[in-house]
């Protein structure tokens, strides 16, 4: 059991609450991870807060005008009525259209109508409810979003097995992924993995060549008689900043690619549409040979999970977002905001490329998304985070070996000052 869970259980010692906790309740804890570190940064990081995955300008979140102006425009039914368990029908259909527009590779492929979940976290959690048993092995890269552990290990009692995220050439470690999938597939007769691009925490997206090789590797695993669940976590979809990178979701290539591969797309407007607090996510399924009736059966199973947890997702945000999708101002504003993020990425890239790196830090490959990460060499990432926090700078430490920096929330004019401070703090720690 996780040490934090044991600490909480100890605090409840002698109470009826502890005696009444379920096995999962006893395993639950609030990790001292991104959210806890972000809370500390909110109180102390008065200079730069590079912790949370939002895009800000002058300290305020970016927001599409259609969202800001649309809040008072909902009818009574849109504002307070229940939404269907699987989501507002018009929004589900509209998001499916968006998927096809953004992923031309999906044209002609059959896949389910997206189901609405209360956020992308819930989307992944609900998929885990459907497909993970106690003791199941889930294959993840070594650098993964920490919430996967809370969802899959603490909630579902599955086990995570990892492979090095990058190969010796600094590209995505496709061979490591394939090897682990074969190992786990032969042990349990099936294999499960999550592919999260752009990756959180590294900000890495595969090249188009790597993407094709990933799909080929998954097909080779399936050819060994192993059923594969491949969850495409597309939280940061569309935020690539270099040429030659995959522009579509891997789901576009995996949809209907093999009878043994069930591809699941977990996505939503959180980052794509700059609505972090809306808590709208979508779940979409595809596998070769599945009929519409079979997709409907799978959707109804997912609806059972939704019904038994939150009953239905929030109606007003679904209606408001549906209106925003058709707002004339949306395309130009999205291009503008994406340009802001691309400019921040370019500033970070220029700094790390031209500035001598202290021996205590190693820049991990990054080319997209909201983040980039350093590997800490010979120093504690947590000690570095705390040292920066004392200087009014918020960052995220992970596994005590990596420091994640959310350049998405730092104005371009402040990038050099932020990274200079990180380099100086790392160098000072190494000398201490």
Given this model, what pLDDT does residue 40 score? Answer: 86
Q: Return the higher-pLDDT residue of 311 and 419.
A: 419
Given this model, what pLDDT does residue 153 score? Answer: 95
Mean pLDDT over 61-78 rounds to: 88
Q: What is the rounded CA–CA span in Å between residue 267 and residue 83?
A: 19
Grouping H, G, I as helix, E, B as strand and the rest as coil, residue 347 is: helix
| Residue 31 confidence class, pLDDT cut points 50, 70, 90 | confident
Q: What is the DSSP letter of 405?
A: E
Q: In what order do the strands lie in the sheet with 402-406?
A: 361-363, 371-376, 402-406, 396-398
Per-residue model confidence as pLDDT tens digits over 352-391? 999 999 999 999 999 999 999 999 999 999 999 999 999 9
Per-residue model confidence as pLDDT tens digits over 41-51? 888 988 998 99
Let me know the angle formed at the C-alpha of 34 by 46 and 324, rounded to the nearest 5 degrees: 85
Per-residue model confidence as pLDDT tens digits over 270-279? 999 999 999 9
pLDDT surpasses 90 at 175: yes
The beta-strand segments (E) located in 99-158 are 115-117, 137-141
What tokens were used for 325? 């999708």
Q: Which of 72-76, 99-103, 363-367 has the lowest mean pLDDT?
A: 72-76
Q: What is the rounded CA–CA span in Å between residue 31 and residue 158?
A: 18
Q: What is the rounded CA–CA span in Å between residue 276 and residue 282?
A: 14
Instruction: Give the chain's domains with CATH numbers.
Output: 31-62+331-431 (3.90.1150.10), 73-325 (3.40.640.10)
Q: To 10 degrees, what angle do helices 381-390 and 34-44 make? A: 20
Average pLDDT, the chain: 94
Grouping H, G, I as helix, E, B as strand and the rest as coil, residue 285 is: strand
Q: What is the rounded CA–CA span in Å between residue 333 and residue 47?
A: 27
Task: Answer for the pair 404, 373: CB distance below 8 angstroms, yes or no.
Answer: yes
First-to-last alpha carbon distance for the chain, in angstroms, is 35
74 exposure class (CB count in 10 Å sphere: 0-12, 13-18, 19+): middle
pLDDT surpasses 90 at 23: no
Q: What is the rounded CA–CA span in Å between residue 139 and residue 160?
A: 6
Per-residue model confidence as pLDDT tens digits over 176-219? 999 999 999 999 989 999 999 999 999 999 999 999 999 999 99
Q: What is the pTM of this model?
A: 0.90
Q: What is the rounded CA–CA span in Å between residue 76 and residue 128?
A: 35
Per-residue model confidence as pLDDT tens digits over 124-149? 999 999 999 999 999 999 999 999 99
pLDDT surpasses 90 at 404: yes
Given this model, what pLDDT does residue 168 score? Answer: 96
Given this model, what pLDDT does residue 149 score? Answer: 96
Given this model, what pLDDT does residue 27 score? Answer: 85
């Amino acid at each position: 059991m996780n040490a934090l869970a044991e600490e909480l259980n100890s605090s409840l010692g002698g109470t009826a609450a502890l005696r009444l906790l379920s096995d999962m309740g006893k395993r639950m804890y609030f990790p001292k991870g991104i959210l806890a570190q972000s809370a500390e940064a909110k109180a102390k990081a008065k200079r730069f807060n590079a912790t949370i995955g939002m895009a800000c300008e002058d300290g305020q979140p970016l927001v599409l005008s259609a969202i800001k102006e649309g809040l008072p425009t909902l009818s009574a039914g849109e504002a307070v009525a229940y939404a269907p368990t699987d989501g507002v029908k018009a929004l589900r259909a509209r998001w499916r259209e968006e998927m096809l527009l953004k992923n031309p590779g999906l044209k002609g492929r059959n896949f389910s109508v997206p189901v609405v979940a209360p956020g992308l976290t819930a989307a992944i959690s609900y998929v885990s409810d459907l497909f993970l048993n106690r003791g199941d092995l889930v294959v993840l890269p070594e650098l993964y979003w920490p919430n996967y552990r809370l969802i899959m290990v603490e909630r579902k009692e599955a086990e995570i097995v990892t492979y090095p995220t990058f190969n010796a050439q600094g590209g995505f470690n496709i061979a490591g992924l394939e090897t682990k999938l074969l190992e786990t597939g032969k042990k349990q007769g099936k294999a499960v993995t999550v592919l999260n691009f752009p990756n959180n925490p590294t900000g890495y997206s595969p090249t188009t060549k790597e993407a094709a090789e990933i799909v080929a590797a998954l097909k080779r695993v399936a050819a060994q008689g192993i059923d594969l669940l491949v969850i495409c976590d597309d939280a940061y979809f569309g935020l690539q900043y270099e040429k030659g990178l995959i522009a579509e979701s891997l789901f576009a290539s995996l949809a209907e690619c093999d009878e043994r591969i069930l591809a699941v797309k977990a996505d939503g407007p959180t980052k794509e549409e700059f609505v972090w607090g809306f808590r709208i996510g979508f779940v979409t399924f595809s596998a070769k040979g599945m009929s519409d009736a079979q997709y409907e059966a799978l959707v109804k199973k997912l609806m059972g999970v939704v019904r038994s947890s939150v009953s239905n997702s929030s109606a007003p945000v679904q209606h408001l977002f549906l209106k925003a999708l058709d707002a004339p101002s949306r395309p130009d504003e999205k291009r503008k905001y994406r340009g802001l993020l691309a400019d921040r990425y370019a500033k970070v890239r220029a700094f790390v490329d031209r500035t001598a790196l202290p021996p205590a830090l190693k820049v991990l490959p990054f080319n997209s998304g909201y983040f980039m990460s350093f590997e800490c060499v010979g120093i504690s990432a947590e000690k570095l985070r705390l040292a920066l926090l004392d200087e009014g700078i918020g960052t995220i430490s992970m596994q005590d070996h990596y420091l994640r920096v959310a350049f998405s929330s730092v104005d371009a004019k402040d990038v050099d000052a932020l990274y200079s401070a990180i380099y100086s703090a790392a160098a000072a720690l190494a000398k201490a």
